[in-house]
Structure 1
């Protein structure tokens, strides 16, 4: 449910990659055997068939997908054996690129493909992956039902040339302002410390300064190593950008906002942004911000949290950082100096367009499509996404009830991620809001977060729209990538510098000029073109 904090390992030599590509988990082989295409597929097959698939798995879990109960059940139900080549998540991007560069040894399917729209268009143009809209129409009733119920997803996965090149991952948990992704960087404040010091939950930016100073000076719990506020600068869910909503439109992870006129604006060139950065610099000058917040990685951030040193943090779920999640409560959107209260929304939806692709090396398209379609069965999708039941080796996520629905089991003090990592398989799937109460229950941690967003933040969300998922042309993707890389790197570097050292007033005009030189207006023109088309539809 949360974004992974694991960063890619440094690439090793091409020669070593070539060797490793033949020795990955689950006995991947270098030579692809020719098989006759199976027609009129009906499961279970009378004779066992095999497909070759490339995938990834969390490094803390088994690296043999066929050891997972979910895949064992699928093989029994279909009589299709999957010959997996699997890599740890952090190695997968490099290994996938290498595997897809060799057209004579392509896998049949890339299961957890992790492809963006640029990848899909590039690999389709190269003849590496194939369009799948006809397969969906002929062989995939489960997926067709999803697209019929939610036609907006068909728009998201359809390329400008009219083809569909991938099967998506879809996870709905709430919608609109009440979607679970509406706010990623929730500010959490230490309620235990507030109570101990006789302090109220701050409602304004000025009151927050007072509280953070009390944390610093009064040593709650007798601690002498208190960190009043910590974050990971530019860390999306761990960034302090949420605070900037008290000064205007605010900021989010990709810096794109849609204003009340349905125009795309860039958050880091707004006047309110400047005032918000000055406020954070004031906190820094007062010694209220963790000095390591500008350099630390996830592990360091968590370690200090588990030591009970934080007064306030920004993250998706406080239980990932704190020893006792009950110590922290979500801090509501604060009123700024002019009375502005704004909970800035993230441009996030529970959809990954390029989750699974079929390669041009696949000779069994009907079989593959029908096998993938089983993953879109509602009860199957729920298990693929979170985990399963009846696993005798690992903690189970669900119990299967008498009416064949899935009921989430309590996780206790266990980390939701660690329990799920040992069971879920990911890949193409769909969980719609209509499934809850019909096929499954909502996860406890997800429901808790939905309640927080609904009860704490929705009332202060000023933006009626976020920037949607759109499928751009190859030309526009290339142009956007060219300019966006430079603009984002520059603006995020200046953000860190200004919070640390100040100087934003003196540099503001030259900063805006540099942003324009780097291509910001060209970026906004492209983004606006697709936003206009989205609203027109």
Structure 2
């Protein structure tokens, strides 16, 4: 997610320098028998995490939230931020050096061979036993939600990190179709719910509203969240039906999808330049009133609404449900937010105080930490109004004229290892709520969970899919625009099979089965 909600899942996070570093890489991860931890002694922590600086805050070392956290926990953190654009390179140098920080966040999953190997190599600590004794808040979340427990556990049964965790077990969808509601009203049309409904609406937008591009289609012809293709009972890529992995672009229903898009394109119902538009060009069509429908994230719509008023003061955008093939059919694929939202922080073998650090991380998943990380400091960044937190003017009407997202990391944390409230933003509008309500009507049982591949599987999968992705993208555009006739669809599928798509499906199947069989408490 992005921008004004959890949606902006952009890099930002937590802590750094520990004078008490230096344990060798074979240090035991077993928690001591004494569960009493002396929190009166101040400790220092070295924390490596990517962070995007701006004119208001250059580093998380300037965060007032972390300064407040230090007062509460007696843990002093000094953050070390890699240079932008060099995160992967610097991470690789870091884990191969003898000078490990205490914490590595966000890029920890990039360890060559995977996180289980990082634990075997003595670089990351296995956290299971430490969490059991020193992280009651985190432990409770796992006990209450077995699927979350599965998401934070590796195929070998290791819990290795503290991630951002969504407050709700099933966070609503943040991506879906948006339509010109004022045009629907003018034409006496209802919100479209089926593919046939959409065809009729788009046709009337073209004929009676002179829409230059009745529908703005994504530049690849399929969006990665399956907004339109899901109507045909498949996913946009790899998906699951029950516990069987399938690949949407070779299924017979994919041909039906392509035939529909080709028909719409030929009749001028899809933007003729969809395949070549960049973000700026696409937004220009939307805000100039030349389109009647598009697919996007809810966080951007208020910007489009403000911009289009200069062209058409009566223009009104509204969310609508993902279409089904026929009215009453269920849709099984949409955007999802795994409750484990990533940005995972691992504790390395150099940490001399893993018990204190686990306890420190656990604070962010409890009641007090929840308020601090989501809203900041009471009286400074928020106040309680009618029993609910409300951001102050320093966040919403900053005296320096800066927007909420520019100033937020000085007072709260945009994203990182904590229990996150996706509504912890100042401008959660009626449109946002309506969009989430409507887009979440589609089910997500075809969406694959976050599976892990072995190092060998990952290398082989990447080698296969690199060429397949290129070929598929090229052929999808040709089929939709008519440069290739749909009579060649079977030849296209045959070519994908020659390129070993079935092998990639088997790899995903094996990873899914391991995921389903993960040992969790």
Q: Are 1:194 and 2:188 an aligned pair?
A: no
Q: CA deviation at 1:313?
A: 0.9
| In 1, Cα distance between equivalents of 2:258 and 2:420 | 39
Query: Measured at CA, do residues 431 and 65 of structure 1 come closer, stay the same or move farther in structure 2, by a change above 3 Å?
Result: closer
Q: Are 1:313 and 2:294 an aligned pair?
A: yes
Query: Measured at CA, do residues 63 and 496 of structure 1 come closer, stay the same or move farther in structure 2, by a change above 3 Å?
Result: farther
Retained in 2: the 8 A contact 1:109–1:356?
Answer: yes
Q: CA deviation at 1:73?
A: 0.8
- 5+ unaligned residues in a row in structure 2: which ranges? 24-31, 309-314
Query: Measured at CA, do residues 151 and 335 of structure 1 come closer, stay the same or move farther in structure 2, by a change above 3 Å?
Result: closer
User: Which deviations, in whole Å up to 9, do the C-alpha atoms of 1:175-205 show, x marking residues without a partner?
Assistant: 3xxx414xx5411111123334554433443
Per the alignment, residue 280 of structure 1 pairs with: 261
Retained in 1: the 8 A contact 2:180–2:292?
Answer: yes
Retained in 1: the 8 A contact 2:452–2:515?
Answer: no
Query: Measured at CA, do residues 408 and 273 of structure 1 come closer, stay the same or move farther in structure 2, by a change above 3 Å?
Result: farther
Q: CA deviation at 1:322?
A: 1.7
Retained in 2: the 8 A contact 1:156–1:469?
Answer: yes
> Aligned to 1:322, what secondary structure does the other structure show?
helix
Retained in 2: the 8 A contact 1:146–1:430?
Answer: no
Per the alignment, residue 52 of structure 1 pairs with: 46
Q: CA deviation at 1:344?
A: 2.7
1:33-72 aligned within 5 A: 33=19, 41-43=37-39, 45-46=40-41, 48-60=42-54, 62-72=57-67
| In 1, Cα distance between equivalents of 2:327 and 2:188 | 27
Per the alignment, residue 84 of structure 1 pairs with: 79
| In 2, Cα distance between equivalents of 1:383 and 1:527 | 39
User: Which deviations, in whole Å up to 9, do the C-alpha atoms of 1:363-394 show, x marking residues without a partner?
Assistant: 3322322222222223423543x4434475xx
Retained in 2: the 8 A contact 1:170–1:431?
Answer: yes
Q: Are 1:399 and 2:383 an aligned pair?
A: yes
1:264 to 232, 239, 245: 245
Per the alignment, residue 100 of structure 1 pairs with: 94
Q: CA deviation at 1:171?
A: 0.7
2:361 to 372, 376, 381: 372
| In 1, Cα distance between equivalents of 2:221 and 2:351 | 39
User: Which deviations, in whole Å up to 9, do the C-alpha atoms of 1:142-191 show, x marking residues without a partner?
Assistant: 2222222223333322223332222222114353xxx414xx54111111
Q: Are 1:243 and 2:237 an aligned pair?
A: no
- 5+ unaligned residues in a row in structure 1: which ranges? 9-24
Query: Measured at CA, do residues 243 and 321 of structure 1 come closer, stay the same or move farther in structure 2, by a change above 3 Å?
Result: farther
Retained in 2: the 8 A contact 1:498–1:504?
Answer: yes
User: Which deviations, in whole Å up to 9, do the C-alpha atoms of 1:12-35 show, x marking residues without a partner?
Assistant: xxxxxxxxxxxxx99989xx7555
| In 2, Cα distance between equivalents of 1:505 and 1:527 | 28
> Aligned to 2:214, what secondary structure does the other structure show?
coil
Query: Measured at CA, do residues 190 and 256 of structure 1 come closer, stay the same or move farther in structure 2, by a change above 3 Å?
Result: same
| In 1, Cα distance between equivalents of 2:133 and 2:193 | 57
Per the alignment, residue 105 of structure 2 pairs with: 111
Higher RCO, 1 or 2 (CA under 8 Å, sep at least 6)?
2
Q: Are 1:524 and 2:513 an aligned pair?
A: no
Retained in 2: the 8 A contact 1:57–1:86?
Answer: yes
| In 2, Cα distance between equivalents of 1:230 and 1:478 | 36
| In 2, Cα distance between equivalents of 1:416 and 1:232 | 29
Per the alignment, residue 131 of structure 1 pairs with: 126
Per the alignment, residue 305 of structure 2 pairs with: 323
Query: Measured at CA, do residues 111 and 342 of structure 1 come closer, stay the same or move farther in structure 2, by a change above 3 Å?
Result: closer
Q: CA deviation at 1:509?
A: 1.6
> Aligned to 2:239, what secondary structure does the other structure show?
strand
User: Which deviations, in whole Å up to 9, do the C-alpha atoms of 1:506-530 show, x marking residues without a partner?
Assistant: 3212221222222222222233334
Q: TM-score, normalised by structure 1?
A: 0.75
RMSD after superposition: 4.3
Query: Measured at CA, do residues 87 and 216 of structure 1 come closer, stay the same or move farther in structure 2, by a change above 3 Å?
Result: farther
| In 1, Cα distance between equivalents of 2:262 and 2:362 | 52
Query: Measured at CA, do residues 497 and 452 of structure 1 come closer, stay the same or move farther in structure 2, by a change above 3 Å?
Result: same
Query: Measured at CA, do residues 302 and 314 of structure 1 come closer, stay the same or move farther in structure 2, by a change above 3 Å?
Result: same
Per the alignment, residue 16 of structure 1 pairs with: none
Retained in 1: the 8 A contact 2:179–2:318?
Answer: yes
Per the alignment, residue 507 of structure 1 pairs with: 488
> Aligned to 1:357, what secondary structure does the other structure show?
strand
